[in-house]
């Protein structure tokens, strides 16, 4: 039960479904590991939620200006609710702290429709899923899909201690215990057994790797995959954090469709600069994570500082995230 002050606490003032957001209510809140809760969200009108695929995430509006991305870890066949797994972090900037301290069943929130930048390919000869801590959330949905498709896969979940293996029983039930390995950092035996390169090599030719978790964990797995000979296009990641450096040489941005030209100073973003000149630029995360502000580049070379695009996609220089990236050329022309 929530009091009247909490019922609409998660919404952005003035934002509605007309803005592309869904109005949802928290149906259930369940502890699933140490410092991890699962939220089940349903539409307030009882209608089915939009379809989603394994690897999808949503933007959850937790308060004015407080928007966070969370993976969907429920069953895509059940659209009565969406399920999210949310870790309380010690260095929270407001999102996880708000969820753990204030979000309760009965509370109304605003949420985006699902987006998927981390889709799994069931046709691969074998899929290897690496999770670091709460990174298990999108991989749980992937394991469910791969199992349903009869695909070959395995899951490797590493966490600080055994109390942090969220959804462990559910994962073992849907994947089969023989396809899941757990590694606790405080357990010398299982910690020493984690060898990402050996795991990838054993998966064989044509395998695909999916990894989600802290940045250091993902870098470790991706480097191991490269050493094992996997091509870049066979390694997939999901990242919801990015420390952005806005400094750099000033440059001119030209908004082609708006007919606006402006100077972007060091420490300023393209998005904010264009807004000051009357150009509407929609952003959500402000850190190059969600892709809301991804815009086509017409001329010039971006200085990519996002984690939304893969390195291969960044090298094409076809698009730029206006909330955090800059320009390597004196003039950058964008399609806005």
Task: Label the pairing between strands 153-159 and 127-132.
Answer: parallel
Which has the higher per-residue pLDDT, 10 or 312? 312
What is the rounded distance in angstroms from the CA atom of residue 98 to the CA atom of residue 84? 14
User: Does 8 score more than 50 pLDDT?
Assistant: no
pLDDT in tens, 181-202: 999 999 999 999 999 999 999 9
Q: Which of 103-112, 160-169, 198-207, 305-314 has the lowest mean pLDDT?
A: 305-314
Name which of 72-86, 207-221, 239-253 the model is least confident about. 239-253
pLDDT at 228 over 90: yes
pLDDT number for residue 6? 34
| Burial state string for 112-145 with b = 16 or more CB within 10 A and e = fewer than 16 | bebbbbbebebebebbbbbbbbbbbbbbbbbbbb
Residue 332 has pLDDT above 60, yes or no: yes
Distance between CA atoms of residues 141 and 178, nearest Å? 18
- pLDDT tens by residue, 44-61: 999 999 999 999 999 999
Q: What CA–CA distances, in Å, run from 6 to 9, 11, 37, 107, 149?
A: 5, 10, 18, 7, 42
Q: How confident is the model at residue 96 (pLDDT cuts 50, 70, 90)?
A: confident
Rounded distance, CA 137 to CA 139, Å? 5
Confidence of residue 65 (pLDDT cuts 50, 70, 90): confident
pLDDT tens digit sequence for 12-48: 444 455 468 999 999 999 999 999 999 999 999 999 9
Average pLDDT over residues 9-14: 46
Percent over 70 (pLDDT), the chain: 93
pLDDT recorded at residue 28? 97
pLDDT at position 5, please?
31
pLDDT value at residue 166 = 97
Q: Is the pLDDT of residue 1 over 70?
A: no
CA atoms of 33 and 252, how far apart (whole Å): 49
Using alpha carbons, list the distances in angstroms from residue 115 to 69, 72, 290.
10, 10, 9
Mean pLDDT of the residues in the chain: 91
Nearest to 100 by CA among 114, 83, 110, 85: 85
pLDDT at residue 19 in the model: 60
pLDDT in tens, 308-325: 887 888 999 999 999 999
pLDDT tens per residue, range 108-153: 999 999 999 899 999 999 999 999 999 999 999 999 999 999 999 9
Rounded to an integer, what distance in angstroms lies between the CA atom of residue 137 and that of residue 114? Answer: 14
Answer whether residue 291 shows pLDDT above 90: no
* CA–CA separation, 152 and 253 (whole Å): 48
Give the β-pairing of 208-212 and 127-132.
parallel
Q: Can you tell me the mean pLDDT for 87-102? A: 82
Q: Which are the contacts of 72, defined by CB distance < 8 A and separation ≥ 6?
A: 52, 56, 57, 58, 82, 83, 84, 114, 137, 138, 141
């Amino acid at each position: 039960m929530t009091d009247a002050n909490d019922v609409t606490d998660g919404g952005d003032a003035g934002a509605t479904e007309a803005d592309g957001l869904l109005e949802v209510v928290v149906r259930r809140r369940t502890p699933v590991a140490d410092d991890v809760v699962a939220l089940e969200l349903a539409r307030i009108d009882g209608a089915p939620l939009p379809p989603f695929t394994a690897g999808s995430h949503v933007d959850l509006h937790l308060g004015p200006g407080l928007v966070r991305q969370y993976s969907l870890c429920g069953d895509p066949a059940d659209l009565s609710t969406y399920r999210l797994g949310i870790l309380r972090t010690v260095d929270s900037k407001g999102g996880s702290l708000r969820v753990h301290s204030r979000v309760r069943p009965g509370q109304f929130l605003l949420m985006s429709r699902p987006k998927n930048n981390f889709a799994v390919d069931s046709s691969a000869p074998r899929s290897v899923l690496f999770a670091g801590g709460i990174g298990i959330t999108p991989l749980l949905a992937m394991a469910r899909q791969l199992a349903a498709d009869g695909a070959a896969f395995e899951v490797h979940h590493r966490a600080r201690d055994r109390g942090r293996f969220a959804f462990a029983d559910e994962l073992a039930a849907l994947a089969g215990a023989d396809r899941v390995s757990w590694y606790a950092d405080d357990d010398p035996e299982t910690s020493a057994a984690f060898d990402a390169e050996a795991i990838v090599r054993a998966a064989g030719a044509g395998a695909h790797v999916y990894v989600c978790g802290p940045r250091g964990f993902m870098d470790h797995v991706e480097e191991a995959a490269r050493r094992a000979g996997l091509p870049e296009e066979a390694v997939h990641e999901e990242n919801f954090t990015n420390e952005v450096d806005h400094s750099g040489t000033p440059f001119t941005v030209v908004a082609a469709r708006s007919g606006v030209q402006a100077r972007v100073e060091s420490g300023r973003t393209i998005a904010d600069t264009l807004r000051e000149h009357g150009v509407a630029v929609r952003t959500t995360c402000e850190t190059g994570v969600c892709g809301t502000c991804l815009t086509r580049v017409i001329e010039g070379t971006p200085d990519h500082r996002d984690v939304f695009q893969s390195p291969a996609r960044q090298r094409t220089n076809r698009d730029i995230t206006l909330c955090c990236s800059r320009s390597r050329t004196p003039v950058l022309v964008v399609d806005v």
